[in-house]
Amino acid sequence: MSPDESRIESNPSMSSDDESPNGVENELSNSMESSMQPRLLVHPENSVAYVTVSDPVQVNEGIAGRKFTMYRVNYDPPPPPADGSSSSDAILSYATSVNRRYSDFSWLYERLHKERPGAIVPPLPDKQSVSRFSEVFIEGRRFHLEIFLRRVVCNPELKDTECLLVFLGGGDDEFKKAKKDGSFGSGKANVEAANEVASDEPYQPFDPEMAPGAHYNSQHDYNKLIDKVEGELSTKKAGIKKWIKERKTSLKGTMVRSPDDAIFDEITNYISALEMGLKRIDTQTSSLIRRDKDVSTCMLEFGLGCDALCHIDDEINGVIGEGDDTTSSTGIGQTFRQMGKTADEISKLSYEYYEKELSCFREPLRDHLKMIHAVKIALQKRHNRRVTYSTCINAVESKKASVHKYKITPGKEGKSVDAAASLARAEATLIVAKQNYEECSQRALREVDRFRRENASYMYATMLEFAKVQKEHHDKMNNAWGALVPQLEGFDASDSGLRGKSFVEASAAASKNDSNVGREVEAVTTDVQIMAMPSYPPPPEPTSNGMESSVLNEAVRYRTVDPLPTEE
pLDDT > 90 fraction of the chain, expressed in percent and rounded: 28
332 band by pLDDT with thresholds 50, 70 and 90: confident
Residue 116 belongs to a domain: yes
- Same domain as 223, residue 179: no
564 to 314, 531, 559, 568: CA distances (angstroms):
16, 20, 9, 13
Give the residue with greater pLDDT, 361 vs 29: 361
- Same domain as 293, residue 170: no
- Same domain as 299, residue 181: no
Q: Which residues form the domain of 288?
A: 281-499+534-553
pLDDT attached to residue 336: 86
What CATH number has the domain bearing residue 165? Answer: 3.30.1520.10
Residue 273 belongs to a domain: no
Number of domains in the chain: 3
What 76-80 contacts at long range (C-beta under 8 Å, 24+ apart), as own/partner pairs, is 76/50, 77/50, 78/50
- Same domain as 467, residue 318: yes
- Cα end-to-end span (Å), the chain: 52
299 to 15, 78, 131, 294, 342: CA distances (angstroms):
44, 50, 31, 9, 9
- Same domain as 460, residue 322: yes
- Which whole number is the average pLDDT over 9-13? 44
Q: Where on the phi/psi map is residue 500: left (φ > 0), alpha (ψ -120 to 50), or beta?
A: left
547 band by pLDDT with thresholds 50, 70 and 90: very low
- Which whole number is the average pLDDT over 291-304? 92
> How far is 171 from 177, CA to CA, in rounded Å?
10
Lowest mean pLDDT among 275-284, 318-327, 434-443: 318-327
Give the residue with greater pLDDT, 27 vs 101: 101
Helix (H, G, I), strand (E, B) or coil at 434: helix
117 band by pLDDT with thresholds 50, 70 and 90: very high
pLDDT attached to residue 408: 82
Residue 174 belongs to a domain: yes
CB neighbourhood size of 467 (10 A): 11
- Which whole number is the average pLDDT over 276-287? 92
> How far is 206 from 201, CA to CA, in rounded Å?
14
- The H or E element containing residue 53 is strand 51-61
pLDDT attached to residue 79: 74
Is the torsion defined by CA of 485, 489, 490, 492 positive or negative? positive
pLDDT attached to residue 8: 47
What CATH number has the domain bearing residue 306? Answer: 1.20.1270.60
- Which whole number is the average pLDDT over 101-106? 92
pLDDT attached to residue 531: 52
Are the CB atoms for 121 and 380 separated by under 8 Å?
no
> How far is 345 from 351, CA to CA, in rounded Å?
10
Residue 47 has pLDDT above 90, yes or no: no
Residue 426 belongs to a domain: yes
Lowest mean pLDDT among 69-73, 76-80, 186-190, 371-375: 186-190
- Same domain as 288, residue 372: yes
Looking at residue 312, its amino acid is I
Residue 399 belongs to a domain: yes
Q: Using one digit for the tens of pLDDT, what is the confidence trace for 548-562? A: 444 444 444 444 444
Q: Using one digit for the tens of pLDDT, what is the confidence trace for 233-267? A: 455 556 676 656 666 666 566 677 888 888 999 99
Lowest mean pLDDT among 4-13, 108-117, 378-387, 435-444: 4-13
Strand order in the sheet with 51-61: 51-61, 66-75, 96-101
486 to 288, 494, 495: CA distances (angstroms):
31, 17, 17
- Same domain as 197, residue 181: no
> How far is 89 from 50, CA to CA, in rounded Å?
10
> How far is 126 from 107, CA to CA, in rounded Å?
14
pLDDT attached to residue 172: 83
- Same domain as 336, residue 232: no
Give the residue with greater pLDDT, 475 vs 190: 475
- Same domain as 543, residue 440: yes
- Which whole number is the average pLDDT over 316-341? 66
Residue 193 has pLDDT above 60, yes or no: no
- Which whole number is the average pLDDT over 198-227? 43
- Which whole number is the average pLDDT over 425-432? 90
pLDDT attached to residue 530: 54
> How far is 161 from 107, CA to CA, in rounded Å?
13
Q: What are phi and psi of 113, to 5 degrees?
A: -65, -35
SS (H, E, C) 67-136: EEEEEEEEECCCCCCCCCCCCCCCCCCCCEEEEEEHHHHHHHHHHHHHHCCCCCCCCCCCCCCCCCCCHH
Residue 269 belongs to a domain: no
- Same domain as 168, residue 32: yes
SS (H, E, C) 343-379: HHHHHHHHHHHHHHHHHHHHHHHHHHHHHHHHHHHHH
Residue 186 has pLDDT above 60, yes or no: no
pLDDT attached to residue 510: 64
> How far is 124 from 127, CA to CA, in rounded Å?
9
- Same domain as 107, residue 53: yes
- The H or E element containing residue 54 is strand 51-61
Beta bridge mates, 57: 70
Residue 121 belongs to a domain: yes
Give the residue with greater pLDDT, 258 vs 57: 57
Residue 254 belongs to a domain: no
Q: Using one digit for the tens of pLDDT, what is the confidence trace for 493-537? A: 665 554 545 667 767 766 665 555 555 556 656 655 555 445 555
Give the residue with greater pLDDT, 244 vs 454: 454
Q: Using one digit for the tens of pLDDT, what is the confidence trace for 530-543? A: 554 455 555 555 55
Residue 10 has pLDDT above 80, yes or no: no
CB neighbourhood size of 255 (10 A): 17
Give the residue with greater pLDDT, 235 vs 313: 313
* Alpha carbon of residue 273 to chain centroid: 22
User: Residue 43: exposed, middle, or buried by beta-carbon count in 10 A (0-12, 13-18, 19+)?
Assistant: middle
- DSSP E strands in 380-484: the ranges are none
522 to 501, 513, 518: CA distances (angstroms):
15, 14, 6
Is the torsion defined by CA of 22, 24, 25, 26 positive or negative? negative
pLDDT attached to residue 129: 72
- Same domain as 198, residue 166: no
pTM for this prediction: 0.70
Residue 25 has pLDDT above 70, yes or no: no
What single string gives the DSSP state of each residue in 263-306? HHHHHHHHHHHHHHHHHHHHHHHHHHHHHHHHHHHHHHHHHHHH
